[in-house]
Amino acid sequence: MKLLPSLLFSMFFLHFYFYYSASINFDYFMLAETWPKSFCKKNQCIPNVPLEFTVHGLWPKNNTRPHTYECSTDPNLVDDMDTKLNKVWPSLTGNNKKFWNQEWKRHGTCSKMSSVNYFNHAIVLYEKNNIKDILKKPLTPGGAAALTPGGAANSADIQMLIKSVTGFEPQLDCEKNSADLLEVRLCFDTDLSNPTYISCPSHLVCPRRINLPL
């Protein structure tokens, strides 16, 4: 009989979890990747930030309805995270686990996934295409790389180049009042068991000419 209260609690928790998950609705996922050198121009960063795009977040998004945030007050973030996260999703300001907790609490709890699945899917999506490698591709056959660290390019050309690889429109985000490319964002449908690109909403923030600072 001592097991009865525990069993009832477990049944209640599962019922609540599935009911609550079913009540969360969103239209697509957005994977935001940050160029560290742009971010660190206006933020206090750790030494030797990577010269690679790194994950900022994986965000459930809505097309017309307000976006949902912090869908649970219980972070429920497991300690045994994939060590690959340290490379692909580092904190540029110092504390990786704190950064992951913040992103999980604000966005991951609205993803209808466990924390393990949420972060593992982010790694898979990140590795699906390397943004830095895409930007190295020439705009014309036999031409020079479109955009390399320390270089500049037309934002429309970069938009088109990324679309030529993924098949869909990305979002480019620049620092406020700056031509520095801060983020590239890629959008996916809600079924991450078989990730499919979709076009991101229009986001006209970057100027005509953009930089990838060193």
Tokens of 192: 């991450």
Separation of alpha carbons 130 and 192, rounded Å: 18
Write out pLDDT tens, residues 93-150. Answer: 989 999 999 999 999 999 999 999 999 999 999 999 999 999 999 998 888 999 999 9
Tokens of 114: 């466990």
CATH number corresponding to 24-211:
3.90.730.10
Tokens of 81: 């995270």
Question: For residues 66 and 7, which has the higher predicted lDDT (pLDDT)?
Answer: 66
Separation of alpha carbons 42 and 9, rounded Å: 48
Write out pLDDT tens, residues 48-72. Answer: 999 999 999 999 999 877 778 789 7
Pairing outcome for strands 54-61 and 28-34: antiparallel
Q: Give me the residue label for tokens 């992951």.
A: 100
